Amino acid sequence: MKTLAILAALGALALGGAAAATPKEDVAAWWRGYEGAPLAKAPDGRRLRYYCLGKGSPTVVLEAGLGSGAWSWRTIQTEMAKTTRVCSYDRAGYGLSDEAKDSRDIDAIAADLGAMVKAVGAGKPVVLVAHSLGGPIVRQYAYHHPQEVAGLVLVDPSGDHQVERFSALGPEFTKLAAAGNDPTRKCLALTEQGPIAFGTPDYVRCVGPVPLDMPPELSRFHVAYGQSPIHYRAILAEYDNALSPASGAEADKARHPLGATPMIILSAGKLTSGPGLSAEDQVKITLLWRQMHWEMTGLSTQARRRFVEGSGHAIQFDRPQAVIDAVGEVVAETRASRTR
């Protein structure tokens, strides 16, 4: 998520999200396919659920933001798969993937992404598409394995050292970050004690309603997920580690230019908003967020950055066609480069 306050204020996302932008029957089919999708093994034997649609090369691998899994791409994966093969997946502890026991620093999560690339890439370079926290993850993987990355699309991505940089704006931003994690910690504590009673305020806050586009027969999956402490632990572990100064140092050590790798950065057109943010705060945060995106354009000679008007942080829901078009553009560029 975006900014200290919004990034941390996930509460229990369960398997929700914005309303579907594609026909309901297509999204229902996505849910059904996802439930029965295969598993890949991480180096330590953990299983990671991945779901691929479409045919063609290069394969596109979708990396979700903090608190989200493969389902955050459900309304557009089917559309993207009309032009090439597209795979979404659940990071450790999310959705149908096993929980990780190690520290969820940026190198550890990027290593899990490597397991996915190995499972779906057929030994060929892939296009990596990432939202929010997914941005640092795919960039870290690209630094370590540039020969395996054909292109990048970053969807309102998180920046390097963003926690420290937002905190430097003033003490109020540090307080917002700390408060933002409270809903997740409360739901974790509740679910560790046992099932939350249906209809209670805690149930509404932690489990929440079944997504409108989820087939009724799969609602049990949504409820079981919201009642499990595993994904709350995953959210907190990623926030505490993947966005920590130590992970920032890992990124600094690994960072290097990516040559002429095709790269598109999509920035939300709307100002950042959130609980407790004044109009002045919103401007401060938004300017810094956009500055970090501008800095990313220096990674590739073929990088370009675009504002997506009318969109908030979740561009894949607010303006799905902007993401579909960007992915299609990068895929076309990688194909053209192979014929030169």
pLDDT in tens, 11-69: 334 455 554 456 677 899 999 999 999 999 888 889 999 999 999 999 999 999 999 99
5, pLDDT greater than 50: no
Question: In 3D, which of 266, 279, 278 has the Cα closest to residue 309?
Answer: 266
Stated pTM of the model: 0.93
Half-sphere exposure of 41 (CA within 13 A, CB side): 3
**Mean pLDDT for all residues in the chain:** 90
Q: What is the pLDDT of residue 16?
A: 56
pLDDT bucket at 1, cuts 50 / 70 / 90 = very low
- The confidence band for 281, taking pLDDT boundaries of 50, 70 and 90, is confident
Confidence at residue 160, expressed as pLDDT on a 0 to 100 scale: 92
Is there a contact between 70 and 50 (Cβ–Cβ < 8 Å)? yes
**Whether 234 contacts 100, CB under 8 Å:** yes
Q: Mean pLDDT, to the nearest integer, of 166-191?
A: 84
- Output the CA angle 27-69-57, nearest 5 degrees: 70
Q: Does domain 3-339 have CATH number 3.40.50.10490?
A: no
Task: For residue 302, give the amino acid letter.
Answer: Q
pLDDT at 181: 81
Q: What is the per-residue pLDDT for 340? A: 61
Asked if pLDDT for residue 186 goes beyond 70, the answer is yes
Q: Where are the domains of the chain?
A: 3-339
DSSP-derived secondary structure for 256-278 = ---TT--EEEEEESSPP--TT--
The whole-number average pLDDT for the span 295-324 is 96
The pLDDT of residue 2 is 39
Of 93, 143, 70, 130, nearest to 293 by C-alpha is 130
pLDDT at 169 over 90: no
> Quick one: pLDDT at residue 7?
38
